[in-house]
Amino acid sequence: MTTYYKKGLLNKNAEVVHNHNKFFWAQTRNPINYFFVAILASVVYQLRLDGEKASYFWTLDYSNPDIKNLMFIAIISLGADYWVLSWHAKEPPHPKFCLTIWRRLSMAIHIISGSTEIFSMVTAFFSPQPVVWEMVACCAALLGHVPTAIYQWRNVFGVKLLMIPCYAAAIGTHFVTAVMLAWQPHNNSVGLLNFWLALHLYVWVRVSYGLFWLIGVFKGSEYSNAILFSGFLVYPALLGSSGNFFIVGVVLVYRFLVLPIMETLELNWWVSHREEFARETIVADAERKVGIYTCTPPSPRPAETPYKIVSIW
């Protein structure tokens, strides 16, 4: 990976190094390992309780192609959870989430409730009595994850003409699947899987962003492409083969129906940004972290003083 420095900004005492090991972390020190060990322990315990093999794990019809597709995406999404939660555990949040106590509280509730959903839904899938765990997951979504997602919604990165309606669709899908599962929790394995996939609309945005950065594509528009990529991955599993058109329809409705109404009402935050509102670059991220770790704000960047590359992985 690349190490950047600037005279007077990054020095021996406050050097920010982005390297391969830090990106993928030293796994033995990753606190999320304990979370996934707890999930594994819960699964083993539920399997021991399920002597009659009554859980969804045993009763699902795996010969059904739709169930096969749902399970494939669900398993891959659990692996994606490890990556995303590890990132949240090891890296400080973006400053926009730390400006007020309400934003800091919102981010904490968002992560805790999302983690609770993951643990509860996996446990429910292997439990002979899944209703209790399903209700825990639904309460975490409806009382924690969905409200905090709505609170953070208007501050999204990316092209807001795309991001605002797409995130609204993701939040709405998460809400609807949670309500449907809470309304009919008994013998509703498909409802549980749909709820799981709706939660992972958020997860795949972050995974897609990391993937685009890793392979070096969509530079400058990673977030906008990431949310589209996430929707195109998940919605066909939720809504069938035509699910991708749902994303297209949501964007068109927002652009030609909702947006004109909001502009008429002079709600300025509903502006139709058509350019990428990008997250900071690695260099800007380095500046910010130097300020965090040394308690000193980064100095203004003179145009005539470029960053130098001192090492490349």
Torsion of CA 27, 28, 32, 38, to 10 degrees: 130
pLDDT of residue 119: 97
Residue 277 carries which DSSP code? B
The residues, ordered by sequence, that sit 6+ positions from 229 with a Cβ below 8 Å of its Cβ are 204, 205, 208
* pTM for the full predicted model: 0.77
Q: Where are the alpha helices (DSSP H) in the chain?
A: 20-24, 32-49, 56-59, 65-90, 101-126, 131-140, 146-153, 160-183, 189-215, 222-239, 244-253, 259-264, 282-294
Q: Which amino acid is at 257?
A: L
Q: Is the residue at 254 inside a domain? A: yes
- What is the tally of structural domains in the chain? 1
Q: Is the residue at 191 inside a domain? A: yes
pLDDT of residue 159: 82
Q: Is the residue at 20 inside a domain? A: no
pLDDT of residue 266: 64
pLDDT of residue 191: 94
Q: Is the residue at 299 inside a domain? A: no
pLDDT of residue 27: 47
pLDDT of residue 37: 94
Q: Is the residue at 42 inside a domain? A: yes
Q: Is the residue at 307 inside a domain? A: no
Q: Where are the alpha helices (DSSP H) in 130-188?
A: 131-140, 146-153, 160-183
Q: How far is CA 45 from CA 49, 57, 123, 127, 192, in A?
A: 6, 14, 9, 9, 20
Domain range for 175 is 31-279
Consecutive sets of 10 residues in the chain, 313 residues long: mean pLDDT of each?
A: 38 39 51 92 94 92 89 93 84 70 87 94 95 96 95 81 91 96 92 95 91 88 89 91 90 88 68 54 46 47 42 35
pLDDT of residue 84: 87
Q: Is the residue at 25 inside a domain? A: no
pLDDT of residue 267: 63
Q: Is the residue at 235 inside a domain? A: yes
State both tokens at 63: 């010969």
